[in-house]
Amino acid sequence: MYPEILHNSFLHTYGVLVALAFLAGLWMAGRLAVRAGLNSDAVTNLGIYCALAAIAGAKVMMILVDLQYYRQHPGEILSLGTLQAGGVFYGGLIGALAIAWWYMRRTKLPLWKTADVFAPAIALGHGIGRLGCFSAGCCWGVRCSLPWAVTFTNPVAKDLVGVPLHVPLHPTQLYESFAEFLIFGVLYWRTRQTHRPGAIISLYLMLYSTARFLVEFFRFHEQGNLWGGPLDTSQWISILLFLAGGFYFVRARRAVPSLT
């Protein structure tokens, strides 16, 4: 919609909102860390490491799901377009989780308790980040004839991300952003209730994977399909994360009879 904050400037709306998303998520994680009795400095440092790992992981996943294209055009791997692309969120999540596991072992932060602190922060930051996607036009939806369809008209957006212009599309970025803000509200409320460590992050995995699975049906798939078949790569990952989150969530509820 509005890819540039100022016309013909280097200041892109997507970059500004992603930076805001990172700061908001980091602030929320620090706030929840204090409430949970964790070392807020260690949690803040963990957030920074995870953000860097998420950027790298998102790019790696983007290349993997469209590996055939990058094999044919290896120069594109380090191109400006690839560096500017947001990548695949699930790749970023996997990268962040791997670094988080390593850092928490090193600093002796409790694994599940720390993960619970970051779950609402991730949802909040991701919700803001998807607004950045909407402003740039990336991650766009398929054609839509519904009253809330959106039509991109800014040629800068097409140049940056390739979104089709003057075509009514599903606002999949807004679908996911709304879902993430709703998930954040649920998780934030849940952190104030009695729960076993790990219950919040497992609930996040269940809620987000469900939302992502559904949104993918309305999204234009500019990346390839890593495993083929009727479901795309993100939907298969969604199924796996839902099962993992559901398994631990059930265990957590059984361990705390007072939960409702």
Answer yes or no: is pLDDT of 67 > 80: no
Tokens of 253: 């509820």
Q: What are phi and psi of 170, to 5 degrees?
A: -65, 130
User: 132, 21 in Cβ contact below 8 A?
Assistant: yes
Cα–Cα distance for residue pair 107/33, rounded to 1 Å: 15
Tokens of 201: 């992050």
Query: How far does CA 192 lie from the centroid of its chain?
Result: 24
Across-strand partners of 4? 12
Identify the pLDDT of residue 234.
Answer: 83
- For residue 64, give the nearest of 213, 178, 225, 249 by alpha carbon: 225
Predicted TM-score (pTM) of this structure: 0.82
- Rg over alpha carbons for the chain, rounded to the nearest Å, is 19
Q: H or E segment at 150?
A: strand 150-151
Each residue of 98-139: pLDDT tens digit?
888 899 888 889 989 999 999 999 999 999 999 988 988 888
**Section 51-79 average pLDDT:** 75
Each residue of 222-252: pLDDT tens digit?
655 556 677 888 888 899 999 999 998 887 6
The single residue listed with the structure tokens 């059984």 is: 254
Each residue of 80-96: pLDDT tens digit?
555 555 667 778 878 88
Answer yes or no: is pLDDT of 142 > 50: yes
Identify the pLDDT of residue 178.
Answer: 97
Identify the pLDDT of residue 254.
Answer: 64
Identify the pLDDT of residue 182.
Answer: 98
The single residue listed with the structure tokens 């795309």 is: 232
Identify the pLDDT of residue 246.
Answer: 93
Identify the pLDDT of residue 227.
Answer: 60
Answer yes or no: is pLDDT of 257 > 50: no
Identify the pLDDT of residue 119.
Answer: 94
Each residue of 2-51: pLDDT tens digit?
666 656 555 678 888 988 999 999 999 999 999 999 998 999 999 999 88
Helices and strands in the chain, H and E counts: 10, 2
Identify the pLDDT of residue 28.
Answer: 95
Higher per-residue pLDDT: 141 or 1: 141
Identify the pLDDT of residue 258.
Answer: 44
Identify the pLDDT of residue 129.
Answer: 92
- For residue 103, give the nearest of 47, 60, 56, 22 by alpha carbon: 47
Each residue of 169-222: pLDDT tens digit?
999 999 999 999 999 999 999 999 888 889 999 999 999 999 999 999 999 876
Tokens of 146: 């519904």
Task: Tell me the pLDDT of the chain averaged across its residues.
Answer: 84
